[in-house]
Amino acid sequence: MSSSTQPLGGRVAIIGCGSRAAMFVRGVVARTSSRVVAFCEPNSKRAIYYNELLAELGAPTVPVYRPDQFEEMLQKEQVEIVVVTCVDALHDLYIVPALRAGVKVLTEKPMTTDIDKCRRILQTVKETNNHVTVTFNYRYNPVHELVKRTIAEGKIGRVLSVHFEWMLDTVHGADYFRRWHRQKTNSGGLMVHKSGHHFDLVNWWIDSEPEAVAGMGKLAFYGDENGKQHGWARDYVRARGSEEAKKDPFAIHLEKDDTLKRIYADAEGEDGYYRDQNVFAPSIGIEDDMGVMVRYKSGATMTYHLTAYSPWEGYRVAFNGSHGRLELDVVESQFRLAEDQDTLGGLIHGTDALPRAGGATVTLQRLWGKPEQLPIEVDHSAHGGGDIRMLNVLFGPREGEAADTGDASKQSATERDGAMALVVGLLANESFKSEKFMYVKDLSLPL
């Protein structure tokens, strides 16, 4: 399903200057084999911030291009690699022309947000014989590698079923309901934007692909009606300038984090985008509580649940096999307090360890045997250490570091992997509406 990817080096353009772009900018600058040569971003304030970041890192500032100048940028700046970090629904607008131009494409997950865009990307890959790398960073987490290796070595025999539960807490989970992700037209909903990570992990862990999907999902906690019903509602549109928001533990205050202030609060005059919207406002278009069943080509099945309003953050995964059971338990944050928002400012996820980070355990128990705690390497940096290791694979090691020639070097996800994670989320969304099983074969993907 995945192929080995040689480290990429060359002239890099960053597409989209939101908060996720920072990891790639810092990662490229830290590696001598690559350099940032351009930004493609419609908001000049965000682009200015990132050029100032380049200067702080000791790299030269670069030209900024508007989205309608993308192809001009590819040619004029002799771009060799594009890193797509813009709004999810816009990914295909850059992936497709970059493939046609022969430029290497790295895209943040999800690869895209609907089936027509997915077909367009896959068809372009077929026509050009160029490929997409989807940056599923959780594959590079050392604990997840251990799970993959244990299953691949046959320690529990053939995987027959999987149970997967993921909890987002009231800071991280709430954040999807403050920003552009709260509309499916932008993000595909949490089934696509967030759970796509998890669906990819399962596809990769059990080395199979989905066949059939069914699910139930609802907006159970966030939103106007739920906020009033549960007693959490506050009357404001966005937190900035609101006295009411100061009393809301679910609010984020952009001014308390310099980066978020500069790329969002200071930039909103150009595009009207509010990063700090009320999570209990009307017209939220995504679910916050979702259960899914998946059947795979291997015959294995999965039950999956995502909760976006949990008091703690983490996940539990169990694999039932023909010769035993493997359990993964991870606590990313043990609890949150209302005052955390005042002390954390804009720190949400993916840039550092969450506060009160817990631990992880991997338990192997063969049939007729005692449980065994497998030795693990726990990393509390971004995405469990996945971001750093992924950057080393994609762009080569930093100066003085050795290249990773082990598991991580074989974990890059292709456009097929991106599609197979995406379709589970898309079919789950359809099943929420139809209350029926949905089938991957009916999508007629050009694979």
Selected residue with higher pLDDT from 138 and 341: 138
**Segment 316-334 mean pLDDT:** 97
pLDDT at 347 over 50: no
Strand partners, 296: 210
pLDDT at 446 over 50: yes
Q: How many CB atoms lie within 10 A of CB 58?
A: 7
pLDDT tens digits, one per residue of 277-289: 999 999 999 999 9
> How far is residue 170's CA from residue 310's CA, in Å, rounded to a whole number?
6
pLDDT at 349 over 70: no
Strand partners, 261: none
Strands of the 289-296 sheet, one edge to the other: 372-373, 360-366, 324-333, 313-321, 159-169, 301-310, 289-296, 210-218, 438-439
φ, ψ of residue 89 to 5 degrees: the values are -70, -10
CB 413 within 8 A of CB 179: no
Selected residue with higher pLDDT from 378 and 345: 378
> How far is residue 147's CA from residue 152's CA, in Å, rounded to a whole number?
9
- 267-276, 353-362, 390-399: segment of lowest average pLDDT: 353-362
**Segment 221-238 mean pLDDT:** 98
> How far is residue 178's CA from residue 166's CA, in Å, rounded to a whole number?
20
3 state DSSP class of 85: coil
User: Which pLDDT does position 208 carry in this prediction?
Assistant: 98
User: Which pLDDT does position 341 carry in this prediction?
Assistant: 61
> How far is residue 284's CA from residue 282's CA, in Å, rounded to a whole number?
6
User: For the chain, what is the mean pLDDT?
Assistant: 93
> How far is residue 192's CA from residue 143's CA, in Å, rounded to a whole number?
23
Q: What percentage of the chain reaches a pLDDT higher than 90?
A: 84
pLDDT at 381 over 80: no
User: Which pLDDT does position 415 carry in this prediction?
Assistant: 99
**Segment 174-178 mean pLDDT:** 97
pLDDT at 2 over 80: no
CB 238 within 8 A of CB 276: yes
Strands of the 64-65 sheet, one edge to the other: 64-65, 34-40, 10-15, 81-84, 104-107, 132-134
User: Which pLDDT does position 413 carry in this prediction?
Assistant: 96
**Segment 40-53 mean pLDDT:** 99
User: Which pLDDT does position 343 carry in this prediction?
Assistant: 44
CATH number of 10-137: 3.40.50.720
